[in-house]
Amino acid sequence: MLSRHSHRRLNPLTGEWVLVSPHRTERPWQGQVEEKPRKTSQAYDPGCYLCPGNERAGAARNPRYESTFVFDNDFAALHPDSEGPGAGKDGLLVAQPERGVCRVVCFSPDHSLTLATMRPAAVEGVVEVWAQQYSELGAMPEIRSVQIFENRGEMMGASNPHPHGQIWASESLPNELAKEEIRQREYFQRKGACLLCDYLGLEREAGERLVCEVDGMVALVPFWAVWPFETMIVSRRHMAAMDELAAAERRALARLLRQLTGVYDSVFDAPFPYTMGFHQRPTDEAEYPHFHFHGHFYPPLLRSATVKKFMVGFELLGTPQRDITPESAAERLRALSLRNKIL
């Protein structure tokens, strides 16, 4: 039934539904066609504001870094000194000040690389920096959330092809993290167990939505996935954030990231755009025994390197919808993972 008929699936992490319409994969496409994503071959670009030694905004200059490089975003969306009274009118016109810190993480000095093409040790260095930044920013008394993410490709709004990601540390919980925290807490209170531990057990037993696994780190297509080739990374061991990762687990996460992003590039034989990020426990002083560390990959490509899925119409006004079932997407990704396995 799930592979042939329209149905909807519940996302237990958010409490939201997605409509699945498998028969729509047969419809012809006469919509917008994007340019095929371009590969970058230059190891150094003199015009890139993220390359070593180059000038950034405000006359700041990058050091000649040789591995990773972290700096405060020159055009930060959040500032540590944001202040001012809240505004409200009968609970309808509400505004609040929001403090925070935004940083940029350059993954490598080599302008041409991606997570998929970096050396394994270099990706391990990125994971190490992420964990350090989570601990450092999360220790600030005004910070409740540390969101680590990467936008890759022009299609996802990335302003620069240099391998890099961002970290936004905020005073309040972002919407998606807040929804996931509530749902995981409710599940824990109701069943005395972790939602994602139980879910991962079901997925590993079924096997049909698994993509790849590296030493306790699992990549799978969620049962409730919205984007065509959406995946989720889940740790087999229960932990709430990167600062709990043992050294072997950090290496495993790095290897899995390198393998999964390489699989994405193989799907349409092109640099694969995506938004990727990790959801970790809030960084206040509360206890979060119910929260399980995980990551999300949201790639927009639908059926080729030039056809993008758009969230429009019913999806904006009603419920997200997908044509390719999570099972068929996982089958394709898994086959590529086995064929191009990166050790």
Over the range 278-309, which residues count as b (16 or more CB within 10 Å of their CB) and which as e? Answer: bbbbbbeeeebebbbbbbbbbbbbbeebbbbb
DSSP string, 112-126: T--TTTS-HHHHHHH
Q: How many CB atoms lie within 10 A of CB 161?
A: 21
**Which residues are within 8 A (CB) of 72 and not within 5 positions of it... i.e. 6 or more apart?**
101, 102, 103, 104
- Structure letter (DSSP) for residue 170: E
Task: Give strand pairing partners of 322.
Answer: 20
Q: How remote is the C-alpha of 165 from its chain's centroid?
A: 10
The DSSP line for 66-110 is: SS-EEEE-TT-S-BTT-----B-STTTS-B---BEEEEEEE--S-
The 10 Å Cβ neighbour count of residue 311 is 12
Pick the catalytic residue from 164, 290, 292, 296: 164
296 is catalytic: no
Two tokens, residue 185? 């807490």
C-alpha 333, offset from chain centre: 17
C-alpha 226 chain-centroid distance: 14
Q: Which residues are catalytic?
A: 164
